[in-house]
C-alpha cells in the first residue's frame, strides 16, 4: 500500500474543496437562513417555488434594484375610464388600484339595490389564512353588510380541519389526495381549491362528515352541494342525515359535475362514497344563494406559483357554477426565507399566475395582498426582516403590471417593526414566531383588509352616482392600455 500516495490525494481533495468554498462564498448571499427559530413541523414548500429560486434568484444585483425603485417611487399612474368611471391618479408609493376592482364594485352596488343578487370571492392564501383565519373575518364583514349565509366551498380533507371553527369536518384516513403544491401532473385536473381527492380504497369505507360551525353567518350548511369531476365509470354516494340515509348516483360525464345533498339547510351530514374509486372528488359548497360568499382556499407552504398550473377549461367549468367576482391572492410568507432581496423571479412567476386566473375566470377582478411584516434577529435584536420591503414592492409591481388591485399589508399593519409590537402588546395579536397572527390579530387584519376594500367601494359609489347624475354614457368595459399607465415593464 502506498501511504504517501493516499496522503497526497487526500490533501489535494481538501485543497480543492477549500478553493471551491472560497469561490462560491463570493456569490452566495450574506444571510441564507433566518436567525430566528422556526418550527419545521408541517411546513411544506411548493415545488415551483424551489425551482424558481434555483433558476433566477441572483439575476439582478442590488444596485440595479435600487435604481429601479428610485425610478418607480413617485411616477404617476393615470387610469383609463371603465364604464365612464375613472379613479384619481396614484403613485407607485401609494398604489391601491381601485380602478381594476370596478367590475367587483359594480356587483356589490347591484347587490345593495337587490338583496337577492349574489357576489362571490375566492380567497387564495398560505398559512396566514390557515383554519379560515383572516378570511372568516372578511366574510363576516361582507355578510354583515350585504347579506349571505354559509362558509362557501370546503375541501374534502384539510390540514386545518381540526382548528377551523367556521365549519367542522372529519374524514376517513384513506382518501388519496393530490395537491398542486407538490404534484405537477395529477391523475385528474385539480379543482378550484388546488386539490383533487379519490375514494379508491375498495376494502374500507371512504367518507367525509361536515357539521355547521358557530360563526354568526355559518350556523347551518346551506344548499350542501358536492362537486366532482369527469371519469369513465359511475359511482355512488350515501348521504347520512340524522337517522336517514339518502342514496344517490354519481354521473361523471362533464369536466365538473354537481350533486345536491338535499334541499334546505342542514346542521350536519356524512357522505359515504361507494364504488367511486375512479371519480375525482373536489369538495362541497355551502351557501344560501344570495348575498356575499367567500371561499377560503388556503394551503400551507404555498407561494401562489402553483395556481399557474390550473387547467383553464376546468376552472371555467367551476366558474359556470360558482360565478366569481373577485379573486384575492394573499401570499409572501413562504417567499421570504431565501437570502435574497431580488424578487424579479417571483414577479415573473406571479405574473404568469395572474394571467392564468384571467384566462380561467374571464372578467374577474383580482386583488393582490402583500406580505405582512416579519421580524428576524439581527445582532441579538429583533427587527423587520430585510427581505420584507423588497418582496412587498415586487408584489406591488406585478399587481400594477397585471392590472390588479393591491393591499399593502405591511404598511396597513404599521410598517417597520410592527410585527414586534403585535407580538409584544397585551393581549398579543401575533405568535412568537414573529410571522403569523393569532386569532385576535387575524381578526384585526381581516377588518383592515375589509376596510380598505370598502373604502374603494364607497369611492366607487360616489363616482358612479356622479356619472349617472351627469348623464355620462358608459363606455364598453375594457382593460386599461399599457401606455395609459406611466409605469411599464420597460421602466425596470
Q: Residue 349 sits in a domain of what CATH number? A: 3.40.50.1110
At 52 the pLDDT is: 61
- pLDDT higher for 485 or 240? 240
Which residues form the domain of 158? 152-288
At 75 the pLDDT is: 79
What does the block give as the cell for 152? 362557501
269, 288, 307 - which closes a domain? 288
Instruction: Indicate left, alpha or beta for 351 from its phi (over 0: left) and psi (-120 to 50: alpha).
Output: alpha
How far apart (Å, rounded) are the C-alpha atoms in residues 184 and 309? 8
Peptide bond into 117 cis (omega under 30): no
pLDDT digits (tens, 9 = 90+) for 159-195: 889 889 999 999 999 999 999 998 989 999 999 999 9
Please report whether residue 7 resides in a domain.
Answer: no
- Exposed (0-12), middle (13-18) or buried (19+): which is 329, by Cβ within 10 Å? buried
| pLDDT range class, residue 261, cuts 50, 70, 90 | very high
224, 253, 288 - which closes a domain? 288
288, 307, 331 - which closes a domain? 288
134 and 64 both lie in a single domain: yes
278 and 313 both lie in a single domain: no
368 and 408 both lie in a single domain: yes
- Exposed (0-12), middle (13-18) or buried (19+): which is 469, by Cβ within 10 Å? exposed
* Contact in structure between 156 and 208 (CB atoms under 8 Å): yes
User: Looking at residue 170, which CATH number applies to its domain?
Assistant: 2.60.120
**pTM of the shown model:** 0.85
94 and 235 both lie in a single domain: no
Please report whether residue 17 resides in a domain.
Answer: no
| pLDDT range class, residue 336, cuts 50, 70, 90 | confident
441 and 388 both lie in a single domain: yes
Please report whether residue 324 resides in a domain.
Answer: yes
What does the block give as the cell for 321? 357554477
Please report whether residue 378 resides in a domain.
Answer: yes
257-266, 323-332, 400-409: the lowest-pLDDT one: 257-266
Q: CB under 8 Å to 18, separation ≥6 — which residues?
A: none
Per the structure, how many domains does the chain have?
2
270 and 338 both lie in a single domain: no
At 481 the pLDDT is: 40
Please report whether residue 295 resides in a domain.
Answer: yes
| pLDDT range class, residue 117, cuts 50, 70, 90 | very high
At 470 the pLDDT is: 87
Please report whether residue 279 resides in a domain.
Answer: yes
Question: For the stretch 310-322, what's the b/e string if a residue is b when 16 or more beta carbons lie within 10 angstroms of its beta carbon?
Answer: bbeebbebbbeeb
At 203 the pLDDT is: 87
| E-state strands within 352-417 | 365-369, 375-378, 381-384, 405-407
| pLDDT range class, residue 235, cuts 50, 70, 90 | very high
Reply yes or no on whether the pLDDT at 267 is more than 80: yes
| pLDDT range class, residue 66, cuts 50, 70, 90 | low
Sign of the Cα pseudo-torsion (345, 348, 349, 354, in order): positive
Q: How much is the average pLDDT of 387-391?
A: 95
Is 334 in a helix, a strand, or coil? helix
At 14 the pLDDT is: 52
Q: How much is the average pLDDT of 392-402?
A: 96
266 and 167 both lie in a single domain: yes
At 471 the pLDDT is: 77
Reply yes or no on whether the pLDDT at 2 is more than 60: no
21-35, 105-119, 236-250: the lowest-pLDDT one: 21-35
Please report whether residue 309 resides in a domain.
Answer: yes
446 and 469 both lie in a single domain: yes
Q: How much is the average pLDDT of 36-57?
A: 50
220 and 142 both lie in a single domain: no
Is 109 in a helix, a strand, or coil? helix
Rounded to a whole number of angstroms, the distance between the first and last alpha carbons of the chain is: 63
195 and 336 both lie in a single domain: no
209 and 135 both lie in a single domain: no
How far apart (Å, rounded) are the C-alpha atoms in residues 337 and 178? 26
At 284 the pLDDT is: 98
At 215 the pLDDT is: 86
433 and 482 both lie in a single domain: yes
Please report whether residue 461 resides in a domain.
Answer: yes
Amino acid at each position: 500500500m502506498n501511504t504517501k500516495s493516499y496522503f497526497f490525494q487526500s490533501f489535494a481533495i481538501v485543497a480543492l474543496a477549500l478553493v471551491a468554498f472560497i469561490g462560491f462564498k463570493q456569490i452566495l448571499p450574506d444571510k441564507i437562513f433566518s436567525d430566528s427559530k422556526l418550527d419545521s413541523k408541517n411546513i411544506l414548500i411548493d415545488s415551483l417555488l424551489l425551482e424558481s429560486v434555483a433558476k433566477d434568484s441572483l439575476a439582478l444585483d442590488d444596485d440595479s434594484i435600487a435604481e429601479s425603485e428610485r425610478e418607480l417611487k413617485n411616477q404617476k399612474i393615470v387610469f383609463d375610464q371603465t364604464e365612464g368611471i375613472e379613479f384619481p391618479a396614484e403613485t407607485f408609493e401609494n398604489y391601491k388600484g381601485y380602478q381594476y376592482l370596478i367590475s367587483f364594485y359594480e356587483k356589490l352596488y347591484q347587490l345593495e339595490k337587490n338583496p337577492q343578487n349574489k357576489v362571490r370571492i375566492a380567497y387564495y392564501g398560505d398559512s396566514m389564512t390557515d383554519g379560515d383565519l383572516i378570511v372568516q373575518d372578511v366574510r363576516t364583514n361582507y355578510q354583515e353588510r350585504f347579506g349571505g349565509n354559509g362558509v362557501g366551498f370546503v375541501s374534502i380533507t384539510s390540514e386545518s380541519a381540526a382548528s377551523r371553527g367556521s365549519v367542522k369536518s372529519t374524514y376517513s384516513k384513506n382518501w388519496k389526495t393530490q395537491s398542486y403544491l407538490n404534484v405537477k401532473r395529477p391523475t385528474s385536473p385539480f379543482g378550484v381549491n388546488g386539490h383533487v381527492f379519490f375514494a379508491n380504497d375498495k376494502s374500507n369505507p371512504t367518507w367525509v362528515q361536515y357539521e355547521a360551525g358557530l360563526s354568526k353567518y355559518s350556523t347551518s350548511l346551506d344548499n350542501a352541494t358536492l362537486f366532482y369531476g369527469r371519469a369513465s365509470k359511475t359511482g355512488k354516494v350515501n348521504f347520512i342525515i340524522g337517522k336517514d340515509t339518502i342514496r344517490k348516483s354519481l354521473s361523471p360525464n362533464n369536466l365538473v359535475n354537481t350533486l345536491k345533498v338535499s334541499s334546505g339547510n342542514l346542521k350536519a351530514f356524512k357522505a359515504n362514497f361507494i364504488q367511486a374509486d375512479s371519480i375525482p372528488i373536489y369538495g362541497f359548497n355551502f351557501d344560501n344563494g344570495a348575498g356575499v360568499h367567500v371561499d377560503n382556499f388556503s394551503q400551507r407552504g404555498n407561494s401562489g406559483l402553483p395556481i399557474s398550473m390550473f387547467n383553464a377549461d376546468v376552472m371555467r367549468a367551476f366558474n359556470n357554477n360558482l360565478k366569481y367576482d373577485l379573486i384575492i391572492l394573499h401570499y409572501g410568507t413562504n417567499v421570504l426565507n431565501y437570502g435574497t432581496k431580488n424578487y424579479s423571479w417571483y414577479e415573473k412567476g406571479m405574473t404568469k399566475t395572474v394571467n392564468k386566473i384571467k384566462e380561467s375566470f374571464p372578467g374577474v377582478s383580482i386583488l393582490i395582498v402583500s406580505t405582512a411584516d416579519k421580524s428576524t434577529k439581527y445582532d441579538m435584536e429583533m427587527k423587520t426582516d430585510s427581505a420584507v420591503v423588497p418582496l412587498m414592492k415586487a408584489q406591488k409591481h406585478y399587481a400594477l403590471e397585471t392590472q390588479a388591485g393591491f393591499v399593502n399589508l405591511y404598511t396597513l399593519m404599521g410598517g417597520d417593526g410592527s410585527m414586534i409590537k403585535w407580538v409584544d402588546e397585551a393581549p398579543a395579536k401575533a405568535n412568537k414566531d414573529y410571522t403569523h397572527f393569532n386569532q385576535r390579530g387575524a381578526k384585526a387584519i381581516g377588518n383592515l383588509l375589509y376596510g380598505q376594500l370598502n373604502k374603494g367601494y364607497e369611492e366607487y359609489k360616489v363616482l358612479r352616482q356622479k356619472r349617472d347624475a351627469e348623464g355620462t354614457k358608459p363606455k364598453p368595459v375594457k382593460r386599461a392600455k399599457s401606455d395609459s399607465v406611466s409605469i411599464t415593464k420597460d421602466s425596470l
